C-alpha cells in the first residue's frame, strides 16, 4: 500500500509521542535524583548526568542496527511491540533504583529497548512515496515536539511528589503505548519485501553499505553526525545549565522544555511540509540547521530568562533539519532496506549521543568553573553551523526528485 494516509502513520506518530513523553518526563528530576543517590553537588551531578546519557547512547549504538534489521526480517509491528513492553518494565525498575549503579543499568536497558525510531521511521518509508517521506518524517518530528511539551511539563508537576514519581509515570505511559500498538498497529512491511537477518548487516557499517553504493551519502552523513552531536546539548545540559545560570526549579525547567517542544511541534505540523515542498529538502535542511545554530549560539550569551523563550522562536525552525535530511537519505536505498537505514541512522545518532553529552557536560562544567557557563552552547552552535555549511557547499547537486526505481511498497 503506497498511500501516505495509511492508518499506521497516526498510530506510529502517537506511539513516538508517548515514547518521548516517557523520556522527557524524567528530565526535570534527574539533577535532584543524581545528587540524592550519589551525595553530590550540582556541578559533579552534571558530569554524572553526561555519563548516564552516554550509557544510554552506547547501548542504543549496538541495538539500533539490530532492531532495524529485525524489523526488515520479521516486520515492524512485533519489534515495536516488544521494545515498548521491555521499555515499560525498565522504567518501573528505574523508579525503584536504590543506587547510581542501578540507575546506570536501567539507562543501558532503556537504550537497548528504546531504539524504536528505526522501525518507526521505516513504517513511514513503507507507506509513503519518496516525495512525501519528508512530510512523514516531519510528523515524527512533531511527535518529538509534542512529547517534549507534555513530558517535561508533566515531569515538573510530578516532581512535587518526589523525584521517583516521574519514572513510575513513564512506565505506565510506555505500557499504554504497548497496549495501543497491540490493538491498533497494522503490519506495514509486505512479506515480499522482507529479507533474511544477517549479523554482518546488524551494525552501523553494514546498515550504511547500500548508502555508500548509491553515492552522495558521505557529506549527508557527516552533516547529520555534526548536527546530532551539537543538538545533544539540549537533553544533556539544559536542566543543569538553567539551574546554574538562572537558578530555575524543576517546574521552571519543565515549562521551558515544554515551550521548546510546543514550538517544534507547531513548526513540524504547520510549516515543514510547505517549506520542504517550496525549497526542496536540501535547502530546507540548510535553513533548519542555520536557524538551530543561531539560537544555540545566542543561548551561550543570554542574560535574562525571557530571552530563552524569545530566541527559540528562531531556534524552532531547526525542526526542518530532521525530516529534510532523513528524506534525502531514504531516497538512496530501496524498500527492502529502509529498516536497516533507519537503524543505522539511529546507531550514528547513538555515537553522537555518547560523545555529545560528554562534550557538552564537560564544557558546561569547565566553563562554569571559569565564570562562563555558556561554553557548552558555544561549542554546540559551532558544530551545527558546520553541518549547515557542509550541506550548502558539499551537497550542491543532490536531486530533490526521487531516483527512478526507488518506490515505497
Q: How confident is the model at residue 191 (pLDDT cuts 50, 70, 90)?
A: confident
| Cα–Cα distance for residue pair 16/6, rounded to 1 Å | 16
408 in a domain, yes or no? no
Residue keyed to cell 517535561: 152
pLDDT, one tens digit per residue, over 79-88 is 888 888 888 8
Which of 26-35, 212-221, 332-341 comes out lowest in average pLDDT? 332-341
- Which region holds residue 65: left if phi is over 0, alpha if psi is between -120 and 50, else beta? alpha
Q: Which residues contact 116 (CB under 8 A, 6 or more apart)?
A: 15, 16, 19, 67, 79, 80, 83, 84, 87
125 in a domain, yes or no? yes
User: Among the ranges 160-169, 191-200, 202-211, 333-342, which has the highest mean pLDDT value?
Assistant: 160-169
The 8-class DSSP code of residue 337 comes to G
Does residue 217 contact residue 337 with C-beta atoms inside 8 Å? no
| Cα–Cα distance for residue pair 332/401, rounded to 1 Å | 11
Predicted pLDDT at 408: 32
- Domain count across the chain: 1
Predicted pLDDT at 244: 84
Instruction: Give yes or no for residue 152 having a pLDDT over 50.
Output: yes
Longest dimension (CA), the chain: 60
Which of 96-100, 211-215, 219-223, 350-354 comes out lowest in average pLDDT? 211-215
User: Among the ranges 31-35, 169-173, 324-328, 381-385, which has the highest mean pLDDT value?
Assistant: 381-385
Does residue 116 contact residue 181 with C-beta atoms inside 8 Å? no
The 8-class DSSP code of residue 272 comes to I
194 in a domain, yes or no? no
Within a 10 A sphere around the Cβ of 46, how many other Cβ atoms?
Answer: 28
Pick from 273, 232, 236, 238: which is nearest to 258 by CA? 238
CA atoms within 13 A on the CB side of 298: 18
Q: What residues make up the domain containing 270?
A: 8-185+202-394
362 in a domain, yes or no? yes
Q: What are phi and psi of 232, to 5 degrees?
A: -65, -15
Q: Which residue has the higher pLDDT, 350 or 122?
A: 122
| Cα–Cα distance for residue pair 116/82, rounded to 1 Å | 10
- CATH no. for residue 58? 1.20.1250.20
Does residue 20 contact residue 257 with C-beta atoms inside 8 Å? no
Residue keyed to cell 521548546: 260
pLDDT, one tens digit per residue, over 286-308 is 999 999 999 999 999 998 989 98
Cell (9 digits) for 178? 504497548
pLDDT, one tens digit per residue, over 202-231 is 666 665 666 665 556 778 888 988 998 898
The 8-class DSSP code of residue 131 comes to G
Which of 5-14, 229-238, 239-248, 400-409 comes out lowest in average pLDDT? 400-409
266 in a domain, yes or no? yes
280 in a domain, yes or no? yes
30 in a domain, yes or no? yes
Pick from 171, 121, 158, 164: which is nearest to 19 by CA? 171
249 in a domain, yes or no? yes
Amino acid at each position: 500500500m503506497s498511500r501516505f494516509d495509511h492508518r499506521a502513520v497516526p498510530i506510529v506518530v502517537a506511539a513516538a509521542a508517548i515514547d518521548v513523553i516517557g523520556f522527557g518526563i524524567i528530565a526535570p528530576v534527574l539533577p535532584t535524583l543524581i545528587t540524592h543517590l550519589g551525595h553530590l553537588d550540582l556541578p559533579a551531578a552534571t558530569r554524572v548526568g553526561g555519563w548516564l546519557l552516554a550509557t544510554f547512547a552506547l547501548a542504543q549504538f549496538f541495538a539500533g542496527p539490530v532492531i532495524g534489521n529485525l524489523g526488515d526480517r520479521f516486520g515492524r509491528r512485533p519489534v515495536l511491540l516488544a521494545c515498548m513492553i521491555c521499555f515499560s518494565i525498565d522504567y518501573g525498575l528505574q523508579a525503584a533504583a536504590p543506587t547510581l549503579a542501578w540507575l546506570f543499568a536501567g539507562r543501558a536497558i532503556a537504550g537497548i529497548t528504546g531504539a524504536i525510531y528505526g522501525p518507526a521511521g521505516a513504517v513511514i518509508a513503507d507507506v509513503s512515496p519518496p516525495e512525501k517521506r519528508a512530510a512523514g518524517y516531519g510528523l515524527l518530528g512533531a511527535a518529538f515536539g509534542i512529547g517534549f511539551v507534555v513530558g517535561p511539563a508533566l515531569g515538573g508537576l510530578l516532581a512535587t511528589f518526589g523525584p521517583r514519581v516521574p519514572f513510575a509515570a513513564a512506565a505506565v505511559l510506555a505500557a499504554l503505548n504497548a497496549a495501543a500498538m497491540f490493538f491498533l498497529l497494522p503490519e506495514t512491511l509486505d512479506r515480499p519485501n522482507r529479507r533474511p537477518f544477517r549479523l554482518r548487516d546488524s551494525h552501523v557499517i553494514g546498515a550504511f553499505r547500500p548508502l555508500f553504493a548509491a553515492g552522495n551519502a558521505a557529506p549527508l552523513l557527516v552533516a547529520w553526525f555534526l548536527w546530532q552531536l551539537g543538538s545533544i546539548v539540549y537533553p544533556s545540559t539544559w536542566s543543569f545549565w538553567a539551574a546554574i545560570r538562572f537558578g530555575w526549579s524543576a517546574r521552571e525547567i519543565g515549562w521551558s522544555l515544554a515551550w521548546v517542544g510546543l514550538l517544534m511541534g507547531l513548526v513540524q505540523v504547520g510549516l515543514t511540509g510547505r517549506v520542504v515542498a517550496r525549497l526542496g529538502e536540501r535547502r530546507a535542511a540548510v535553513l533548519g540547521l542555520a536557524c538551530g545554530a543561531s539560537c544555540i549560539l545566542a543561548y551561550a550569551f543570554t542574560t535574562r530568562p525571557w530571552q530563552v523563550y524569545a530566541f527559540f522562536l528562531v531556534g524552532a525552525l531547526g525542526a526542518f533539519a530532521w525530516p529534510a535530511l532523513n528524506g534525502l537519505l531514504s531516497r538512496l536505498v530501496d524498500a527492502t532496506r529502509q529498516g536497516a537505514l533507519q537503524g543505522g541512522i539511529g546507531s550514528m545518532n547513538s555515537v553522537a549521543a555518547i560523545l555529545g553529552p560528554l562534550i557538552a557536560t564537560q564544557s558546561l562544567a569547565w566553563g562554569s568553573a571559569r565564570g562562563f557557563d555558556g561554553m557548552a552552547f558555544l561549542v554546540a552552535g559551532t558544530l551545527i553551523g558546520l553541518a549547515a555549511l557542509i550541506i550548502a557547499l558539499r551537497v550542491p547537486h543532490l536531486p530533490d526528485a526521487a531516483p527512478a526505481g526507488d518506490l515505497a511498497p
